[in-house]
Amino acid sequence: MNYEDISLDLFENRRCTPFEVSPEGDPVGFGKLRSDHIFLMDYRAALGAKGWTNPRIIPYHQGIPDLMTKGLKLGSKVLHYGYSCFEGAKAFRHSDGELYTFRLDQNAERFACSARMLTMPPVDEEVFEMAVNYLLDIDRLHFPTGVEGASLYIRPFMFAMSDQLGVPSGSSFTFAIFLSPSGPYYEDGFDPINLLVQPYFHRAVTGGVGGAKAGGNYAGASRPGSLADLLGCSQTLFLSPEEGFVEEVGTSGFAMVENGKLVLPEKADTILDSITVRTVEQLAPQEPLNMSVSREKISIDRLLRGLDDGTVSEVIGLGTAAVVSPVRSLRIIREEEIDPCILERVRYGKVGIEELVPGDRSKYVDELLVGDGETGEFTQRLFDFYTGIQNGTVEDRWGFLKKVEIRV
């Protein structure tokens, strides 16, 4: 596919001036806003190797009507069996006024992997990048200037369209991309967060699709996420079901500083292959961070013991949305306070998660601070360095950034 193969139907009232946010205005937030347009492309199995066809950019508000004419029905498989996967990436405006993507080729590769895991047809990686760049070019004026931590958040996604009951993925799919002018992921910005440690709910199992960026993985993680929120935490620290090894921080990757070394979890098919974690693994040993890195199995006992004796000095969440998240504390659920009968009912959906922790919720957790509870020295340096590369204030020696060329 070439750029000239993408048909354009541009919104007649599309933004023609830069999106400037005043300090007194409403906060932009994360993921709430949309730019003017959406990219769409259809897959029809009957076309074989040329199955992906009809690439187009149309007004965002016409997306659903367009899809309905292309076959989206109440019987479409995405609505019944959860056939969907997605990506998350960002574009940044630099001091030269240009937009730049950050490691978009890695998103394209992972998106194709997720599609294959869900038996959906992968999108060619060059086509993926081309579509993202064309949409960014058209809607570049939606970048929210004047916002701390600003980006144009990029949401590519794919879903099964076939109007047929039955578990196989079908023969009709849609690939789509929209943009969201965004600020920081957390409302409190870079303030340290609390993590919940609990043994009851898990994100993925060995041999499953935990390594895919599948919509169902995130819906399935919402119940422990809600429990974390009830207990004053931003995220759940997910552990492996059998051994209790640390895997992920909610929707982000995990890292800790132990005895002056950065330790990451070993790779596993239960853990999403985080682009941010891989990037940090590459950057940490180099100037100016100068931090040795290893990947190891990290038991929850090792983590808690290290926090207690001070050998673990920092805990960090790593992901595209929040980038680098300092962790203030771990809140460990007190199992003796949990009613096993209610837990059983919660497990099977007989009652909601809030029934697990009624009354005074402070009694359900013990808190263990990470260091002094403030942002750690390495975490701060990592955040400044990583976001500096993204924003163009630190030299990109690795070729992570690609300029969005002007074509329209």
Give residue 208's pLDDT. 94
Give residue 8's pLDDT. 95
More confident residue, 154 or 3: 154
More confident residue, 17 or 301: 301
- The parent domain of residue 217 ranges over 193-389
For residue 349, tell me if it sits in a domain.
Answer: yes
Please check whether residues 246 and 101 belong to one and the same domain. no
Q: Alpha-carbon distance 354 to 357, whole Å?
A: 6
Token code pair at residue 54: 């009809």
Give residue 164's pLDDT. 96
Query: What percent of the chain is predicted at pLDDT more than 90?
Result: 88
Please check whether residues 295 and 341 belong to one and the same domain. yes
Average pLDDT over residues 173-192: 92
For residue 62, tell me if it sits in a domain.
Answer: yes
For residue 397, tell me if it sits in a domain.
Answer: no
Please check whether residues 87 and 173 belong to one and the same domain. yes
E strands, 278-375, in order? 293-296, 312-319, 323-333, 365-369
pLDDT at 17 over 90: no
More confident residue, 107 or 185: 107
User: Tens digits of per-residue pLDDT, 218-273?
Assistant: 999 999 999 999 999 999 999 999 889 999 999 899 999 999 999 999 999 999 99
Give the CATH number of the domain where residue 72 resides. Answer: 3.30.470.10
Backbone angles phi, psi at 226, to 5 degrees: -65, -35
Give residue 188's pLDDT. 75
Backbone angles phi, psi at 249, to 5 degrees: -105, 90
Average pLDDT over residues 1-13: 91
For residue 89, tell me if it sits in a domain.
Answer: yes
pLDDT at 49 over 70: no
Please check whether residues 124 and 232 belong to one and the same domain. no
Radius of gyration of the chain (CA): 22
Please check whether residues 174 and 207 belong to one and the same domain. no
Please check whether residues 173 and 291 belong to one and the same domain. no
**388: amino acid identity, one letter:** G
For residue 163, tell me if it sits in a domain.
Answer: yes
Return the DSSP state at 236: E
pLDDT at 344 over 80: yes
User: Tens digits of per-residue pLDDT, 55-88?
Assistant: 999 999 999 999 999 999 999 999 999 999 999 9
Q: Helices H, strands E: what count in the chain?
A: 10, 20
Minimum mean pLDDT range among 27-31, 52-56, 391-395: 27-31
Give residue 220's pLDDT. 92
Name the domain boundary from 155, 182, 209.
Answer: 182
Domain count for the chain, please give it.
2
Mean pLDDT for the chain? 95
Please check whether residues 11 and 137 belong to one and the same domain. yes
Please check whether residues 258 and 129 belong to one and the same domain. no
For residue 408, tell me if it sits in a domain.
Answer: no
Give residue 213's pLDDT. 97
Cβ-contact 85, 158 below 8 angstroms: yes
pLDDT at 394 over 90: yes
Query: What percent of the chain is predicted at pLDDT more than 70?
Result: 99
Name the domain boundary from 182, 205, 233.
Answer: 182
Please check whether residues 259 and 283 belong to one and the same domain. yes
pLDDT at 334 over 80: yes
Does this model's pTM top 0.75? My answer is: yes
Average pLDDT over residues 183-191: 85
Give the CATH number of the domain where residue 288 resides. Answer: 3.20.10.10
**87: amino acid identity, one letter:** E
DSSP letters spanning 104-117: HHHHHHHHHHHHHH
For residue 404, tell me if it sits in a domain.
Answer: no
User: Tens digits of per-residue pLDDT, 119-135?
Assistant: 999 999 999 999 999 99
Q: 337 has which bridge partners?
A: none
Name the domain boundary from 153, 182, 211.
Answer: 182
pLDDT at 22 over 80: no
- Residue 260 burial by Cβ neighbours in a 10 Å radius (0-12, 13-18, 19+): exposed
Closest CA to 135 of 101, 167, 168: 101
Please check whether residues 235 and 364 belong to one and the same domain. yes
pLDDT at 308 over 90: yes
Give residue 104's pLDDT. 99
Please check whether residues 300 and 248 belong to one and the same domain. yes
pLDDT at 7 over 70: yes
Please check whether residues 250 and 284 belong to one and the same domain. yes
For residue 350, tell me if it sits in a domain.
Answer: yes
pLDDT category of residue 190 using cuts at 50, 70 and 90: confident
